[in-house]
Amino acid sequence: MTPEALQQVAKAEKDAIARQPQRIGVCTAAGCLSCKSGEVLKNLQTALERRPDIPYRAAGVGCMGLCAHGPLVSVEPDGLLYQDVKPNDVPALVESLATKPLAEKRCDTTAPFFIRQTKVVLDKFDVIQPERLESYLAAGGYTALMDCVTRRTPAEILDEVKRSGLRGRGGGGYPTGLKWETVAKANGARKYVICNADEGDPGAFMDRSVLECAPHRVLEGMAIAGLAIGATAGYIYVRAEYPLAIARLKLAIRQAEKFGLIGDHICGSAFSFKVEIRLGAGAFVCGEETALIASIEGRRGQPRPRPPYPAERGLWGFPTLINNVETFANISAIITRSADWFASMGTATSKGTKVFALAGRIQNTGLIEVPMGISLREIIYDMGGGAPGGHSVKAVQTGGPSGGCIPADQFDLSVDYESLKKLGSIMGSGGMIVMDETSSMVDVARFFMEFCKSESCGKCVPCRVGTTQLHHLLEQVRERRASRADLARIESLCDMVRTTSLCGLGQTAPNPLLSTLKFFRHEYEELLVDNHAEAPR
Amino acid sequence: MNATPAMPAVAGDEKRWRLVEAVMRRCGFRGDALIETLHAVQETYGYIDETSMRRVAAALNLPLSKVYGVATFYHFFHLKPQGRHTCVVCLGTACYIKGADAILQRLRERFGIAAGETTPDKHLSVMTARCVGSCGLAPAVVLDQQTLGHVGPEDVVHHIEELPS
């Protein structure tokens, strides 16, 4: 389709919304669906059909963030949000549309959880219907791609992304524009774009939500990247554990192909870009670029030494750009709203916003998007509501198995790549697991070491043997069978694994252990057999 | 691999095998379609046995050792048949902090099987996942592809007991 024809589709959809402004949105992301939001939606639609006097129409929309109180239901144009809506609440809810709002189900949208957010990646999730491309078009979707295809040169796109200051959202924080430029400059008969949707960090579900709620936003970002670097094919490597995300991605690709937004001659131009899905199969190490490439090539997901980096020699030996889901989801906004707008958010070195998944011992579990530079205190206490049941927050774990635990007395820390690193953690992909005083930090360290031990691909010895030994030693500590000498052994082993492992998995595996040792050393020492002795034997 | 031949999951089952073949054909029978193909085998038969691996190896022109190497590398692939019902207990960080191990322990007490095992009558398999991405609903289990959130050990037992046999 030509850009004009697509604009017509968008306009028709917008007109339909204007004619029918009374809309009920039911969250149909995986979290709410497992609390029966699908049934809520069906009941609503049936009930509304029987009540022609009530002008509202119900549709499934994306994630509204507060997963703790799902299913969430929004009522427009009244601006109401209802929480914990069960299928049998539907009659009362329908009745309320003709009378007055249901007070007992109201969710306070003026709470800090909602008003402190700045939405770029999660923008309009509450109105976009994930399974309809028209809905994404009406929300301004694909205008960035059309703009790039018809009016901008690859160099201009690269410049825009570079000036935005966007950094990789998968964890590493490598400047996205620089990565794109390297692949654009690399020599290769073919080039590839890969979207890393193998969200392996336990405790992180941002990418899942983006794929489920706005798959087109990711496709659009990938196509723009393809245009900028000169690639004609892209792969989305998505974990098999996310069946809904896979189904919606497949549907989105088919729709985009039908509308001429993916495939040959995008928007009638000379630019062609195909996208295929590749399923992960449950290997955390495949989050590492070279292991991910091996997996797409149908091999065991084992990393190889870098350089050469995938930007020079990647998929099947050709220059390859790998970015994470959230990174791609930022691209369309940067193009339509400008690099300067994007760079006006955040800190000097960490620009824009970041999506975090709040989970663990915290009141308001769910998804939030906040400007970089916000303090952990604001996230955990103001937005998250602190720990439930009168407990006190002890620490927050960021960055999954590669990150660390940050104690509550450091919560004034600004959330940006550098500050988190300074404390021995990392930004990571955005999982934040809150722990209260009932959590043992030794046990948390053991949990992550068990994870790394089991997920180590076995290729290099320091990681394969080191994580096994560290896990064994941590078991000893937990069972009160370790001595001071063992603790010293743990520390030197950590150093060895960190400095000599082949890939990121091994190099960062000691992080949870080291950070808990740094901030909660007394918890380890209390468990030592010679705790009260003056010095080790 | 086991010296005794595995139960031929595909014997006399050419119809279902065609689903697997369709996936290989779509990928042009290229070697890099291996993981996609193994997904198709597991989806069709519930697990990946030796017979299937041999057929995949032949069709994609790969050594059997490579097929076996890939099938055993990825945690998502099962080499043994699963029960009629599967209960996946999420062991992600959020679920762990909120007591996922208590669920596993209760399942062991009630059904006599640990993670990775199947009851002798093939009724139930208990498995674990690294994270199912339902951290907002922790602790979570996935019972027959359906995610159940905010569940205690007794809730899970109750849900399983209600399953048809």
Q: Please report, for residues A373, B70, B86, the alpha-carbon distance to residue B146 in angstroms, rounded to integers and kept in the order given.
A: 38, 27, 10
Low-confidence ranges of chain A (pLDDT < 70): 532-537
For the range B42-45, what are the long-range contacts, defined as Cβ-Cβ under 8 Å and sequence gap of 24 or more? B42/B76, B42/B77, B42/B78, B43/B19, B44/B16, B44/B17, B44/B19, B44/B20, B45/B9, B45/B10, B45/B16
Is A296 in contact with B137 (Cβ distance < 8 A)? no
Query: What is residue A535's predicted lDDT score, i.e. its pLDDT?
Result: 47
Q: Which of residues 167-226 of A touch B (CB under 8 A)?
A: 199-205, 208
Which positions in chain A touch B75 (Cβ < 8 Å)? 281-283
> How far B48 CA sits from the closest chain A CA (Å)?
13
B25, HSE (Cβ side, Cα atoms, 13 Å)? 6
Q: Of A77, A41, A91, which is closest to residue A62 (Cα–Cα)?
A: A41
Which positions in chain B touch A242 (Cβ < 8 Å)? 133
Is A242 in contact with B93 (Cβ distance < 8 A)? no
Q: Can you read off the two tokens belonging to residue B101?
A: 């191990």
Is B136 in contact with A361 (Cβ distance < 8 A)? no
Q: State yes or no: pLDDT of B5 exceeds 80.
A: no
Q: Which of residues 386-445 of A touch B (CB under 8 A)?
A: 397, 400, 431, 433, 435, 439, 444
DSSP state, residue A263: B
Q: Of B4, B16, B8, which is closest to residue B49 (Cα–Cα)?
A: B8
Which positions in chain B touch A34 (Cβ < 8 Å)? 134, 137, 140, 146-149
Residue with the two structure tokens 């059909």 = A49
* Residues A385 and A113: beta-carbon distance below 8 Å: yes
Query: What is residue B6's predicted lDDT score, i.e. its pLDDT?
Result: 41
CATH 3.40.50.11540 domain extents, chain A: 180-331
Q: Of A480, A464, A467, which is closest to residue A532 (Cα–Cα)?
A: A480
* Residues B96 and B89: beta-carbon distance below 8 Å: no
Chain B residue with the nearest C-alpha to that of A452:
B130
- Alpha-carbon gap, residue A442 to A520, rounded angstroms: 9
What is the DSSP track for A146-192?
HHHHHH--HHHHHHHHHHHT-B-TTSS--BHHHHHHHHHHS--SS-E
- Report, as an integer, the average pLDDT of B37-60: 95
Domain A353-439 matching CATH 3.40.50.11540: the answer reads no
Which positions in chain A touch B74 (Cβ < 8 Å)? 280-283, 301
CATH 3.10.20.600 domain extents, chain A: 353-439
> How far B60 CA sits from the closest chain A CA (Å)?
11
- Contact pairs from chain A to chain B, CB under 8 Å: 140
Q: State yes or no: pLDDT of B2 exceeds 80.
A: no
Kindly provide the ipTM of the predicted complex, given to two decimals. 0.90
**High-pLDDT (> 70) share of chain B, %:** 93
Is A400 in contact with B38 (Cβ distance < 8 A)? no
Q: Taking all residues of chain B, what is their mean pLDDT, rounded to a whole number?
A: 90
CATH for A180-331? 3.40.50.11540
Chain B residue with the nearest C-alpha to that of A458:
B73
- Alpha-carbon gap, residue A328 to A216, rounded angstroms: 11
CATH for A442-525? 1.20.1440.230
Which positions in chain B touch A280 (Cβ < 8 Å)? 74, 76
Q: State yes or no: pLDDT of B9 exceeds 80.
A: no
> How far B96 CA sits from the closest chain A CA (Å)?
8
- The torsion defined by the Cα of A7, A10, A14 and A15, in degrees rounded to 10, comes to 70
Query: What is residue B145's predicted lDDT score, i.e. its pLDDT?
Result: 87
- Alpha-carbon gap, residue A195 to B109, rounded angstroms: 43
> How far A487 CA sits from the closest chain B CA (Å)?
24
Q: Please report, for residues A395, A396, A523, the alpha-carbon distance to residue A437 in angstroms, rounded to integers and kept in the order given.
A: 9, 11, 12
> How far A135 CA sits from the closest chain B CA (Å)?
26
- Report, as an integer, the average pLDDT of B52-81: 96
A384, HSE (Cβ side, Cα atoms, 13 Å)? 30
Q: Please report, for residues A371, A419, A476, A481, B22, the alpha-carbon distance to residue A535 in angstroms, rounded to integers and kept in the order given.
A: 48, 35, 19, 17, 68
Is B76 in contact with A242 (Cβ distance < 8 A)? no
Residues recorded for chain B: 165
Domain A3-115 matching CATH 3.40.30.10: the answer reads yes
Please report which confidence band the pLDDT of residue B8 belongs to, taking 50, 70 and 90 as the band edges. very low
CATH 1.20.1440.230 domain extents, chain A: 442-525
Q: Does A31 touch chain B (CB under 8 A)?
A: yes
Q: Select the residue of B35, B130, B147 nearest A279 (Cβ to Cβ).
A: B35
DSSP state, residue A309: P
Q: pTM score, two decimals?
A: 0.94
- At A14, the amino acid letter reads K
Is B74 in contact with A283 (Cβ distance < 8 A)? yes
- Alpha-carbon gap, residue B2 to A191, rounded angstroms: 43
Q: State yes or no: pLDDT of B12 exceeds 60.
A: no
Q: Can you read off the two tokens belonging to residue B19?
A: 């689903």
Q: Select the residue of A31, A34, A202 nearest B130 (Cβ to Cβ).
A: A202
Q: Does A247 touch chain B (CB under 8 A)?
A: no
Is A279 in contact with B137 (Cβ distance < 8 A)? no
Residues A360-387: pLDDT tens digits? 999 999 999 999 999 999 999 999 999 9
First to last CA, chain A: 78
* Residues A500 and A462: beta-carbon distance below 8 Å: yes
- Alpha-carbon gap, residue A111 to A508, rounded angstroms: 37
CA dihedral (A321, A323, A329, A331) positive or negative = negative
Is B137 in contact with A431 (Cβ distance < 8 A)? no
Tell me the residues of B at the A interface, defined by beta carbons under 8 Å apart: 30-36, 38-39, 66, 69-70, 73-77, 91-94, 96-98, 129-138, 140, 145-149
Q: Select the residue of A31, A400, A447 nearest B137 (Cβ to Cβ).
A: A31
Is B115 in a helix, a strand, or coil? Answer: coil
Which positions in chain A touch B132 (Cβ < 8 Å)? 241
- Alpha-carbon gap, residue A10 to A439, rounded angstroms: 51
Query: What is residue A536's predicted lDDT score, i.e. its pLDDT?
Result: 46
Q: Does A356 touch chain B (CB under 8 A)?
A: no
Is B35 in contact with A298 (Cβ distance < 8 A)? yes
Which positions in chain B touch A298 (Cβ < 8 Å)? 30-36, 70
Is A241 in contact with B36 (Cβ distance < 8 A)? no
Is B94 in contact with A359 (Cβ distance < 8 A)? yes
Beta bridge partners, B129, equal B90
Q: State yes or no: pLDDT of B1 exceeds 50.
A: no
Residues 6+ positions from A128 with CB-CB distance below 8 Å = A61, A62, A135, A136, A139, A141, A213, A214
Query: What is residue A532's predicted lDDT score, i.e. its pLDDT?
Result: 65
Q: Of A202, A438, A184, which is closest to residue B94 (Cα–Cα)?
A: A202
Q: Does A365 touch chain B (CB under 8 A)?
A: yes
Is B149 in contact with A35 (Cβ distance < 8 A)? yes
Chain A residue with the nearest C-alpha to that of B146:
A34
Q: Please report, for residues A24, A85, A93, A489, B138, the alpha-carbon distance to residue A74 in angstroms, rounded to integers and kept in the order given.
A: 6, 11, 11, 55, 24
Is B93 in contact with A30 (Cβ distance < 8 A)? no
Q: Phi, psi (5° rounding) for residue B142? A: -115, 110
> How far B66 CA sits from the closest chain A CA (Å)?
8
- Alpha-carbon gap, residue A451 to A446, rounded angstroms: 8
A74, HSE (Cβ side, Cα atoms, 13 Å)? 22
Is A241 in contact with B33 (Cβ distance < 8 A)? no
Is B31 in contact with A298 (Cβ distance < 8 A)? yes
Query: What is residue B4's predicted lDDT score, i.e. its pLDDT?
Result: 39
